Amino acid sequence: MLLLKSTSSSLLFLFTTTVSALSSALSSTLQHIPTFGPNPRNVSMYIYVPSNISSSAKPPILVVPHWCHGTAQAAFDGRPYATLGDTYGFISIYPNSSNTADQCWDVSSSESLTHEGGGDALSIVSMVRWAIEELGADKDRVFVTGTSSGAMMTNVLLGSYPDVFAAGSAWAGVAFGCFAAGAGQYDIWSDACATGKIIRNGSEWADIVHAAYPSYPKDAFRPKMQVLHGLNDTTLYPQNLREEVKQWTAVFGYDVKVYNETRDTPLKGWTRYSYGEKFEAYTAEGVTHDIPNQADTVMDWFDLRCKGEGCYSRRTR
Ligand SMILES: *[C@@H]1O[C@H](CO)[C@@H](O)[C@H](O)[C@H]1NC(C)=O
Ligand SMILES: *[C@@H]1O[C@H](CO)[C@@H](O)[C@H](O)[C@H]1NC(C)=O
Ligand SMILES: *[C@@H]1O[C@H](CO)[C@@H](O)[C@H](O)[C@H]1NC(C)=O
Ligand SMILES: *[C@@H]1O[C@H](CO)[C@@H](O)[C@H](O)[C@H]1NC(C)=O
Ligand SMILES: *[C@@H]1O[C@H](CO)[C@@H](O)[C@H](O)[C@H]1NC(C)=O
Ligand SMILES: *[C@@H]1O[C@H](CO)[C@@H](O)[C@H](O)[C@H]1NC(C)=O
């Protein structure tokens, strides 16, 4: 359990998780990598590499950006992905924001919102590229999941780098570009977005995604996306889930009115809306911004328990 304080108010957030990672039980330790390529925002790189994986196994990569007032260490301790990486053979990367004021990610600058444009997004992508180069990780099985600011960054990374990621899982975030504030506008909190006042239609939201990387071919692989949100979230209002739904269904060309609905999954009061293979959204009844992370849901979506050929990857879909 992690206790943290929000930037926008004095609310205390309590981000919980179903499994707790006991570092004593891990096969390896969190390592700091001082240089890893272009890092315009001086983000720090931390990585967990299970001791018994080899580059010949081409391990997948899971990027876990922290929340506001969170740190790489807090995400590493508070999420079970190091333990799961030991069991299933994947690497996890924990970027650490250089924004010591509030540790929120830069999800607002046009640098981050542009392919190869810079910002925190490029710094994080450099970490992925380093792990592919230096550790022989699988470039076709790169995933990202985060909560709150980490979920916003998940949306940003999928939008700006559709060529790098295979899938994302965003817990209580906002649509790509919802915090957009212009060139050099790194440390922005958008109250208008947070309170659900930035409302666009699907084609407007999809245009913002396509503008991040205009030359990316329309028929090229795009990472699939899973979004989850508490219906009682008063920090990032649930309207933000609706905006994410409009955005990603439009990007994937799905009809926003056509979905399969599954109730009480993975928890009672949660509902999954599946719009197709590439996109699903979950509402969580009675859940505040302190959405309890469900590692199983993330592992399933990324197919991260799968080893060998035929696992979900940029190659197979
Ligand atoms: C970059 O971040 C590191 C670690 O937080 C810090 O020690 C260093 O001074 C920073 N460098 C610059 C140029 O800000
Ligand atoms: C990340 O940055 C924060 C804030 O500067 C610092 O407290 C923490 O030690 C850094 N490292 C990790 C691994 O979280
Ligand atoms: C690494 O060790 C874990 C147990 O800690 C085991 O479950 C896993 O299969 C091992 N992986 C490899 C590639 O040997
Ligand atoms: C979305 O909004 C734009 C700009 O306001 C408008 O031109 C377009 O017709 C709208 N599209 C749909 C599908 O409503
Ligand atoms: C809903 O489920 C059915 C049966 O599995 C499937 O054929 C259909 O494509 C699904 N529709 C959507 C929108 O996911
Ligand atoms: C969630 O919001 C509903 C409707 O506003 C309210 O009745 C309920 O008490 C809230 N639940 C929690 C857990 O805050």
Question: Exposed (0-12), middle (13-18) or buried (19+): which is 185, by Cβ within 10 Å?
Answer: middle
Where are the strands (E) in 193-310, listed by range? 224-230, 260-263, 270-276, 279-284
- Confidence bin at 24 (pLDDT 50/70/90): low
Ligand nearest to the CA of 42: 1
| Residues forming the active site | 148
Q: HSE (CB half, 13 Å, CA atoms) of 102?
A: 16
200-232 burial code (b ≥16 CB/10 A, e <16) = bebeebbebbbebbeebeeeebbbbbbbbbbbe
Closest-lying ligand 1 atom to the alpha carbon of residue 42: 1
Q: Give the C-alpha distances (Å, rounded to integers) separating 314 from 102, 142, 310.
A: 35, 9, 11
The answer to whether residues 65 and 72 touch, using CB atoms and an 8 Å cutoff, is no
Q: What is the pLDDT of residues 161-194, one digit of tens each?
A: 999 999 999 999 999 999 999 999 999 999 999 9
Any atom of ligand 2 within 6 Å of the Cβ of 71: yes
Q: Is the CB of 31 under 6 A from ligand 2?
A: no
From ligand 4's centre to the CA of 285, what distance in Å?
31
> Which is the closest atom of ligand 5 to the Cα of 255?
13
Structure tokens at 156: 């940003």
3-state secondary structure of 145: strand
Model confidence pLDDT, tens digit, residues 233-272: 999 999 999 999 999 999 999 999 999 999 999 999 999 9
Residues 293, 47, 313, 303, CA torsion sign: negative
Closest residue (by CA) to atom 14 of ligand 1? 42
Residue 241: CB within 6 Å of ligand 3? no
Tell me the CA–centroid distance for residue 96 and ligand 2, in Å: 6
- pTM for the model stands at 0.93
